Amino acid sequence: MSFKSIVCELKEMKNGIGSISRRREVEGRHWRNRTRSHIAPDVVPFDSNQQGQWANIPPELLLDIVHRVEESETSFPARTAVVYCASVCKSWREVTKEIVKTPEECGRLTFPISLKQPGPRESPIHCFIKRDRANSVFRLYFGLTPSEDVSDKLLLAAKRIRRATSTDFVISLVSDDFSRASSTYVGKLRSNFLGTKFTIYDSQPPSDVAIQHRGRLSRRFSAKQVSPTVSACNYSIATVSYELNVLRTRGPRRMHCAMHSIPFSSIQEGGSAPTPTSFPQSFDERPSKAKVPAVNISSSVSVPSREPLVLKNKAPRWHEQLQCWCLNFKGRVTVASVKNFQLAAAVDPSHNIPAAVQETTILQFGKIGKDIFTMDYCYPLSAFQAFAICLSSFDTKPACE
């Protein structure tokens, strides 16, 4: 059997045309509708006992097949073939997870957990955001710019919910379900009354150590509702602050981001950022609705104290001819907007960080058209963290501009 025919059969299997039973075909159609908006289901709705010959392929041949698929399909939609490999059966899934590297290592997004992992160190991952004003929904897509058709790959979506004293941006893997009790819920962003301070909450702690030390505090539901090993809590992982500018005498917005879940040592030589390997909650589990408690990582006594990474926006320069503030976005931003910014690490001279690292743009956000914005991020931020920071720019800030 040729390599091309194997890939074709994998696609047929994903579409329910292969040797899956009729009952599983119905489930497959349901899951395709649910996962069309995001990268891939984290738990495959297929039973390995029903895969027949695919589950019994020799390990050497299986490794060769998955290796060739992973190396040949580097971008979406073609990279969906890698997801098909993980959707065959348990043995295929384990091999695929072993072969597929993190975004930091390979610079590519594959599974949903990739959105919680740090980006590449060398070159940024290019994304763009579409704003739906009518429904207050913001969608993050993978790619340089929007395509002419509807084949853009949706990574994350957020819905703005205005409250009496704050504003919430609920972030989900899909664009049609923003319930915090949903298995697609990944986190949220919450502002204060003035829109000057935002807190980023993650649905999972940044490391397995945090789960081990928190125990009962991290339970969102009772033990009868979900597995006790499932983390179901909002963890405060970062804060975004905007300086007051009531009289509008300080120029453009000034912002600082304290990333409590990322140590400052991550940008030092030999340092690393927390990299989750899986979601703590299965995609096929549907917990009942309940109020979600919040846990502040920076104030927890169970987690060792460490200096967090702080990001600050790069100061723009005043252009005399254009009579406006300017930044070099390297062609990725084309429309002037108060929302445009670039973030770099805030470094103290005592840290002895090289100048090249200090000047590295970790997150870049800017407008390219009506309700369309670009978002480029790299290590040590993840797509989720970068998206949440960019969402803070959309909220009204009467005291900051």
324 pLDDT higher than 60 = yes
286 pLDDT higher than 60 = no
For residue range 185-206, list pLDDT tens digits in order: 999 999 998 889 999 999 988 7
Query: What pLDDT was estimated at residue 25?
Result: 45
- What residues are paired with 191 via a beta bridge? 198
Query: What pLDDT was estimated at residue 295?
Result: 56
Contact between 221 and 287 (Cβ < 8 Å)? yes
Query: What pLDDT was estimated at residue 318?
Result: 85
For residue range 289-300, list pLDDT tens digits in order: 445 555 555 444
Which is nearest to 109 in space by CA: 150, 153, 62? 153
Residue with the two structure tokens 């009531």: 246
Output DSSP code: residue 321.
T
Is 63 exposed, middle or buried, given 0-12, 13-18 or 19+ CB atoms closer than 10 A?
middle
230 pLDDT higher than 50 = no
Task: Identify the residue with better confidence: 69 or 376.
Answer: 376
- What residues are paired with 241 via a beta bridge? 197, 256
Average pLDDT estimate for 63-77:
86
224 pLDDT higher than 50 = no
Contact between 153 and 128 (Cβ < 8 Å)? no
Q: At what angle do helices 90-99 and 59-72 cross, to 10 degrees?
A: 50
Measured CA to CA, the distance from residue 292 to residue 232 in angstroms comes to: 8
Q: Which amino acid is at 311?
A: L
343 pLDDT higher than 50 = yes
380 preceded by a cis bond (ω within 30 of 0): yes
Output DSSP code: residue 315.
P
Measured CA to CA, the distance from residue 221 to residue 228 in angstroms comes to: 9
Please give the share of the chain, as a percent, with pLDDT higher than 70. Answer: 70
100 pLDDT higher than 60 = yes
Output phi, psi for 55, to 5 deg. -80, -10
Contact between 119 and 383 (Cβ < 8 Å)? yes
Please give the share of the chain, as a percent, with pLDDT higher than 90. Answer: 41
Joined tokens for residue 164? 């009496």
Measured CA to CA, the distance from residue 283 to residue 298 in angstroms comes to: 28
Measured CA to CA, the distance from residue 99 to residue 85 in angstroms comes to: 11
Query: What pLDDT was estimated at residue 36?
Result: 46
4 pLDDT higher than 80 = no
